[in-house]
Structure 1
Amino acid sequence: MSVLARNEIASAARIVVKVGSSSISGENAGQIAPLVDALATAHGRGAEIVLVSSGAIATGMPYLQLDERPTDLATQQAAASVGQNLLIFRYQDSLDRYDIVAGQVLLTAGDLENPSHRSNAHRAMDRLLGLRILPIVNENDTVATHEIRFGDNDRLAALVATLIKADLLVLLSDVDALYTRPPHLPGAEPISHVGAGDRLPGVEFGASRSGVGTGGAGTKVSAARIAADAGTAVLVTSTALVAEALRGDLVGTWFEPSAGAPTLRPGSPARQTTQPSGSPVA
C-alpha cells in the first residue's frame, strides 16, 4: 500500500489530530482558537480533518466544584456529562469563524470491538467527512466502564485513524517532541524520526506529570505504533506547533508508517489494550 512520506504532509488528504485535556482546558482553554485556526487552514486546502479531543472531564470539573480529577467512575461520568457539552460548544464557537460545522462522535472500546458497531461508525465518519463536516471524537465517558474503556485518547485516536484509513495522525501534547529521557533531565535529546519497527531502545520511561488527563508519552508511543503498523504516518509534537506540523515543517517526532501493513480484521485494533507502565515524557 502507498504510505505518506514526511515531505508530503501538506498534501495529506485525510488527517486525524488528537489533543489532550491539559492542552485545551483550565488555563490553556485559550489554545482552542489557535488549534482551530490550524485545523481550518488544512480543511480549507481540501483535507478531511477529524479531531480527537480529550477534555470533557477536565472541562466539567470546575462546574462540579472539583479541584482534582475524580477517581471514582460515577463522578468521572458526571463531570464528562457536563464537560462534553461545554467542550463541543467552545469548538463550534471557534469553528464558526470559518463557517465549518462540527459533528460530535462519542465511542467506547466496545463499539470498535463489535463488527456491526465498527462498520456503523466507519460509515458515519465517512459520510460526515464527505459532507465536509469536522467530526470531533471523544470516548463516551458517560457510559464507558473500566472494562470497556480505551484507557486513553491517544489509543482512541490511533484506532480512529485506522478505522477511516487516515494518511496522517498528529498526536499533540505539551512538549514539542518525544525525548530520550524526561526533557528536564540532563542529557535529554529529542527524537526526530522513528523507523518502521524501531522499538526505541535506550529511551527512558517516566511518569506522566499531567493531573487532568490519562495519557503520557508512553501512551503516545504505543498509539503511534498501532497507527504506523497499520500504514498511517504519525507525528508527535506540541499543541503550540500544530500549525507548523500540518504545514509540513520539520517539527516533532515522525513515526514512519509500515508500507506492508496487514488488513485489519473488524474490531481487532480495539483489543490491543496493553498499557505502557510509564512515559518517555513528551
Structure 2
Amino acid sequence: MKKLVQAVASLIIVASSVAGVTTISAKENTQAYKVEYQDADSMKSVFTKELHKKYANVKFKEKKKNVSVYESKNYQVKVKDLDVDTIGKQTVSIEGKNKKTNEKANVKVDVKVQDTIAPVITCEDSITVDQNDSFDINNYVSLNEEGTVELNKTVDTSNVGSITTTIQAKDKAGNVSKKNITINVEKDFYQRIADAALAQVGVNQDCTMLVTNSLAAVGINFHGTPTAYLSLGELTNNPVPGDICVYQGHVALYIGNGKAVHGGWLGCQTVVSTVECTNAFIGYVHVSR
C-alpha cells in the first residue's frame, strides 16, 4: 500500500477534455525523461508513458523549424522545442493524434538530452607504415562524432616489426571506446626496391627484367625499354637506394655509395658494380609512390 501511495504521489496530473482534445499537465519539478543525444527516436518511450502505449511504433519523420514530427500508420506525434543535438534539460510540448479518429492529446514535459553512447571507431585492424616515417593515428582513424583519439603506447617506427596497441576514442561527453590494432613497420619503400635488386644478384636476366622485378617488391607492375622507366618518377640529382639509373640502352637500380645493381652484365648476369658504365647516363629516377 505504501508503494502505491508513493507512486501516485510521484506523478500528479490534471486532465481535461474539450472537443476531442485531452490536455495533460505534468506536475512541476517531476524528474526529466532521459533522451539520447542525436537520437530523435529515443523520445518514443516518452510518448508511450505520457500519451499511450499505442504510440510505441511512431518513427521520426522530419523536423520543421522547431517542431519534430513522428508518424506511424495510425498515429502522429508533434514535439515542439525539442533539440536532440543540444545536451541538457529542455521543456517540450507534445501533441499526439489518432489519424483515424482525429482525437488528440497534449502534454508538456521536461526531457534531459544526454550522450551515453561511446563513439564508433572506424580503422583498419592492421596498418602498414614505412620505417622511420612519422606516425599519426589521426591519419588512419575516423569517428562518427566529434572526439579525440590517442594510442595507449608510442609507436616507434625506427625499428622494423609489428606493434600491437589500442586506440582510445573519447567524445565530448566523456564516453570512451577502444579498438585493438596492429601496426606493421616495414623497411622504407625505396629500400625495399634496393633490397629486391640485391636479392637478384647472380640471376641470369637482362637489365629491364632486373628493374621490373625490383619494382614488383613494392607493388609497381611495369616493364618496358630502358628509357621507358623515366616515366615512373622524377629525375633527381640526390639519389637514394631504390632509385632507377637510366642510360641510353641500359637501366639499373641504385643501391647507394655510387653503386648499382646491373642486369645483362657480362652476358646476362646480374651483378653489383659502380653506377658508371659504357652507356651514356641520362639520370636517376626517384620513383613516384
TM-score by length of 1: 0.21
Q: Which structure has the bigger radius of gyration? A: 2
| Structure having the larger proportion of residues in strand | 2
| Structure having the larger proportion of residues in helix | 1
TM-score by length of 2: 0.20
